[in-house]
Chain A
C-alpha cells in the first residue's frame, strides 16, 4: 500500500477547482509509487463535495462530517489528515499550494515525521521519486528528494491540468476522531465576493500596478477583464497602496497564475511579480516607460499611457468578443 492522499478543498459547499490539478499530480505520483489515489474531504455537510470529487478518476473518497470541521483550523484538520494518511497507508500526502495547503501541510508533515516539498511543479522517477520546485522567486528550479518514507507535498496547481471526468469512485464516511481545539478558534472569514472567475484558473487575467494611481482607476482594469470574461489581479505595490484587495496579489508571495492571456497594465515587471505570471501563455504589457522590465517578458508590448489605451482597447474589444 503506497497510496497517495489528496486533501480536497471546498468553499460554499462546492469543490474548489485547485483540487483538480492536485489530483493529476497525485495520479502521476501514484503511478510511481504503485498505489492508488484517495481523497479526503473534511467539513460539516460535505457529502455533495465528496460525490463531486469522486468523478475525477480517483480510487476512493473519504469524507468526515463534524461540527469540529465546520471552519478550517490547522489545529483540528492536521490530526485528521494524519489519521487518514495512516489509515490508507499513504506514502505521499498532497494538497494544493493554496493558503490552506500551505498552512496545513507542514503541520501534517511534522506529525508524520515526513519531509515536505512546497510548490511542486513536477514529480518523476530518477532512481527514486523526485520533485521539481521553483525558489528564489522562480529564478531557480531545483530537483529535490525526500528521504523519509512519507512525503508531503503542496502542488503548484498551474503546472498540472485538471483530470477528465469519469466513473464515480466509492465514497466512504471516515471517522477522524478529532475533538475541538482548546487553543485555537475560528472567528470569521470575510469573503471577497466576485462574479469573476478565480484568478488561479481564469483563462484571461488583467492585472494593474501602482502606475494606476488610485483604486478608482482600477475600474478600467475591471472593465477590460469583464469584457474578456477574465479575472482581475494586481501587483503588490498596487495592493500596498490600497488600490486593490490583497486577494488580487500576483507574485512570489501572492498568487501564481498561468492564463492563456495576461495583461500587465502599469506594472514595472519586478522579479517578485514575474514569479507569479511568467507561466502565462501570452503576455501583453501596457506601460508608458519603454524601458520597463515587463517588456522583456511580454509577447506584445504597447508603450503609452494606460489611461488612454485601456478604455480604448476595451471599447474595441467589446465589438469583437
Chain B
C-alpha cells in the first residue's frame, strides 16, 4: 500500500505568539518551529498502516526550505521518502490543497492521511478542499481507521457523539486526537532518516499557480482578560456570583 502523509511546519504551539508592531504578521525571530501536532498523528497512522499492510510512506510538506527538518522528523519516525514543495509565500489552505493535489496526481497513493487542522492558522480546511479537487471521498476527525478490501472504515469524532463512515480508496483521512499515540523518533531512526531520499520541487515545477483566494490583512492581539479575585471560601464565592456577577 502506498501511503501519503503531510507535515506542516508550524510555530511551537506552547509558545506565546507575538504580533509584529506593524500588524502584518507574527514575530518569527527566535521562534521555535515544529511539526504540526495533528500531523504527528497522521504520520504515526501512516506507519501503523505500513506495519499492517506493507508498502511505502511518502511525506510531503509545502513550505520554506527549513521545513526539510519536519520532513526528516517524519522520516525518522518511519516515513520512507520526502517531498518538499518549496515556497516562502504565505499560502492559504486552497493554494496548499492545489499543490498537494498535484503531488498526489503524480504519486497516486492508495490513501492520504493528514492532520485535521494546523495549530497555527487553525483553519481545518486543507484535507477537505484537497479531497474535493481530487474527487476523492473524505473522512475527517478520525479517531480510528481500518483498511480492508479497498475501503477504509473510519471512526469520527463529531458533535453529539461519534460517527462511523466507510470511504473507498483512494481517500483523504484527517486525524483527530486519540487516533493513536505518536512515537518519538529513535536515534537510529534519526540517523537513517538522513539518508532517505528527499526531493525538492517548486509550485511552478508542478504547474500550480499559488495565488491566494484569502488574504490576511491585519494581525491583532485579542483583548486580554484580567485576573479577578481570589476568594476565601465557598460562601464568599456564592456571594460574589449572586451580588457582583449576578449570575445566580
Kindly provide the distance from the CB of A29 to the nearest chain B CB, expressed in whole angstroms. 16
Q: Contact check: which of B133, B213, B218, B247 meets A282 at CB < 8 Å?
A: B247
Cβ contact of B221, chosen from A99, A100, A140, cutoff 8 A = A140
A313 and B124 CA atoms in complex are apart in Å by 39
Binds B, one of A84-92, A165-173, A179-187: A179-187
Asked if B231 and A301 sit within 8 Å, CB to CB, the answer is yes
Total number of residue pairs linking A and B with CB closer than 8 Å: 255
**B122 and A252 contact, CB distance less than 8 A:** yes
On whether the beta carbons of A182 and B168 are closer than 8 Å, the reply is yes
Q: Are B119 and A137 in contact (CB under 8 A)?
A: yes
Query: Would you call B1 an interface residue if the criterion is a C-beta within 8 Å of the partner chain's C-beta atoms?
Result: no
Report A-chain residues with C-beta under 8 Å of the C-beta of B17: 136, 139-140
With both beta carbons as reference points, the residue of chain B lying nearest to A261 in the complex is identified as B247
A99 touches B237 (CB 8 A): no
A144-B214, A187-B153, A320-B238 are contacts. A110–B222 as well, Cβ < 8 Å? Answer: no
A119 close to B (CB within 8 Å): yes
Of all chain B residues, the one with the shortest Cβ separation from A11 is B160
16 contacts between A and B (CB under 8 A): A11-B160, A104-B128, A116-B123, A135-B121, A137-B122, A138-B222, A139-B16, A145-B217, A184-B138, A189-B162, A240-B177, A247-B159, A281-B247, A297-B225, A300-B245, A320-B238
Given A298-B227, A312-B234, answer yes or no on A145-B215 (Cβ-Cβ < 8 Å): yes
Contact of B125 among A116, A135, A278, A296 (CB under 8 A): A116
Q: Is the CB of A74 within 8 A of B240?
A: no
User: Interface digits, B98-141 against A, CB 8 Å rule (1 contact, 0 not)?
Assistant: 00000000000000000011011111111111011100111011
**Across the interface, do A321 and B163 meet the contact criterion of CB distance under 8 Å?**
no
Instruction: Tell me whether A99 and B234 are in contact (CB under 8 A).
Output: no
Asked if B94 and A115 sit within 8 Å, CB to CB, the answer is yes
Judge if B189 is at the interface, Cβ distance under 8 Å. Answer: no
User: B interface, how many residues as a size bin?
Assistant: 35 or more
- C-alpha spacing A296/B226, complex, angstroms: 7
In the complex, which residues 98-137 of chain A have their Cβ closer than 8 Å to any Cβ of chain B?
98-100, 102-107, 109-111, 114-119, 130, 134-137
Taking a contact as CB atoms under 8 Å apart, the answer to whether B128 and A103 are in contact is yes
**Residues of B contacting A: mostly:** mixed
Whether the Cβ atoms of A116 and B94 lie closer than 8 Å is yes
Given A185-B165, A284-B237, A313-B234, decide whether A260 and B227 contact each other with a Cβ distance below 8 A: no
A136-B160 contact given A110-B94, A110-B132, CB 8 Å threshold: no
Q: In the assembled complex, how far is the CB of residue B114 from the closest CB belonging to chain A, in whole angstroms?
A: 13
B32 CB → nearest A CB, Å: 14
| A residues near B126, Cβ cutoff 8 Å | 106
Residues in B whose Cβ lies below 8 Å from that of A185: 165-167
- Which residues of B lie under 8 Å from residue A105 when comparing CB positions? 128
Judging by beta carbons under 8 Å apart, are B213 and A147 in contact? yes
| Also in contact, A186 and B165, with CB within 8 A (given A99-B157, A192-B160, A282-B241) | yes
B220 on interface, CB distance cutoff 8 Å: yes
In the complex, whether B4 has a CB less than 8 A from a CB of chain A is: no
At the interface, yes or no: B178 with Cβ under 8 Å from chain A? yes
- A74 CA / B154 CA spacing, docked (Å): 14
- Number of A positions contacting B (CB below 8 A): 87
Q: Which residues of A contact B (CB under 8 A)?
A: 11, 73-75, 78, 98-100, 102-107, 109-111, 114-119, 130, 134-148, 181-192, 204, 236, 239-240, 245-247, 252-253, 255, 260-261, 271-272, 278, 281-284, 290, 295-303, 309, 312-313, 316-317, 320-321
Give Cα distance in the complex from A7 to B129, angstroms.
18
Q: Is there a chain A Cβ closer than 8 Å to B13's Cβ?
A: yes
Q: Which residues from chain A contact B16 at a C-beta distance below 8 Å? A: 139, 271
Across the interface, do A302 and B165 meet the contact criterion of CB distance under 8 Å? no
- Beta-carbon contact of A118 and B133 below 8 Å: no
A278 to B167, CA, bound (A): 37
